[in-house]
Amino acid sequence: MRVVRLVKKAKKGNKGALLQLISEQQDAYYRLALTYMGNSHDAMDAMEDMIVSLYHSIPQLKKEDAFYSWSKTILVNRCKKLLQKKNKIVPMENTNESFEKPIITTDATNSFTQTEQRMDLKDMLSTLNANQQEAIELKYLHDLDLQTIADMTNVSIGTVKSRIFQGLKKMREQFGGEWNE
């Protein structure tokens, strides 16, 4: 497998191989960083941080084929670190149901018309708590698997599942019957 080969090279200290691995999913990394950081400048800073961090910790990666989920977990952690430094967010553990901090920063002018009602994803997500929002974004907007999301958010898979379930349920309740099965 090509990825595994590149990862093995990167483990030996080959910077070119690491850069190639990142470049191949550059847009996905960027979107993920952008979700957390909110602007392009900070997102790119976070990715710079990430690549340096990856370079040093890649020898510790045991499963080479898990490179992408592992590196994205590191990216998310770097983003959270940077945000903490900027005091932009309260750490996730301290949030509660009433805490409504939208993380999503996608272009608000984009919307999706379902039946007659203009639905805006940002508005919909903003009704959820930060943990539910994060889990749903990671799963549906960044196509990450549950294990990776669990690693990123530092909770068990069960918690991730429940956050997604509760979040989706709440969105359905809030935005009417057309979302039902």
Partner 1 sequence: MNELEKYLEKESERLKNNKAPEELNERLRVALEQTPPRRKNKAPKWIAVAAAIMLLSFVSYNYNAFAYFGKKLLGYDELMTETLAQLNEEGGGQSIEKKVILSDGTELYLDALLTDENQSILYYTVKNSKGVVEESYFDRLRGSWTKAFATYGTSSKNEEGTEIKGIQAFEAVSPFAKELTLEYRYNEGTEQEEITFPYNPKLAMQTELKQSIRKKVHVDQGTIRFDSITATPSRTTIQAKVNVNNFDRIQLGGGGVQLLANGEPVELTGSSSKSAIFGQDIEIYFDRLPAKIDTLEIVVDKFVGYQTLNEAIAVSGDDDQSEEIHGKELIIRKIEKTMEGIQVTIATEQDVLLEGVSIQTKGKSTPLHTTLRADLLDGENGETYSERVLLFNTDDLPDTLSIEGMHYAKSYGEHIQLIDKKKTVEGN
Binding site for partner 1 (CB under 8 A): 12-13, 15, 18-19, 22-23, 26-27, 29-31, 34, 40, 44, 47-48, 51-53, 55-57, 59-62, 70, 73-74, 77, 81, 106-107, 110, 112, 114, 119, 121, 136, 140-143, 151, 154, 168, 171-172, 178-181
Q: Which is nearer to partner 1, 100 or 174 (CB)?
A: 174
In the chain, what is the greatest distance between 2 CA atoms, to the nearest angstrom? 57
Over the range 38-69, which residues count as b (16 or more CB within 10 Å of their CB) and which as e?
beeebbebbbebbbebbeeebeebeebebbbb
CA atoms within 13 A on the CB side of 127: 15
Q: Which is nearer to partner 1, 84 or 88 (CB)?
A: 84
Q: What is the DSSP letter of 39?
A: S
Tell me how far, at minimum, the Cβ of 120 lies from partner 1, in Å: 10
Q: Which is nearer to partner 1, 98 or 110 (CB)?
A: 110
Q: Which is nearer to partner 1, 22 or 98 (CB)?
A: 22
Tell me how far, at minimum, the Cβ of 143 lies from partner 1, in Å: 7
Tell me how far, at minimum, the Cβ of 23 lies from partner 1, in Å: 6
Bridge partners of residue 61, in order along the sequence: none
Q: Which is nearer to partner 1, 91 or 98 (CB)?
A: 91
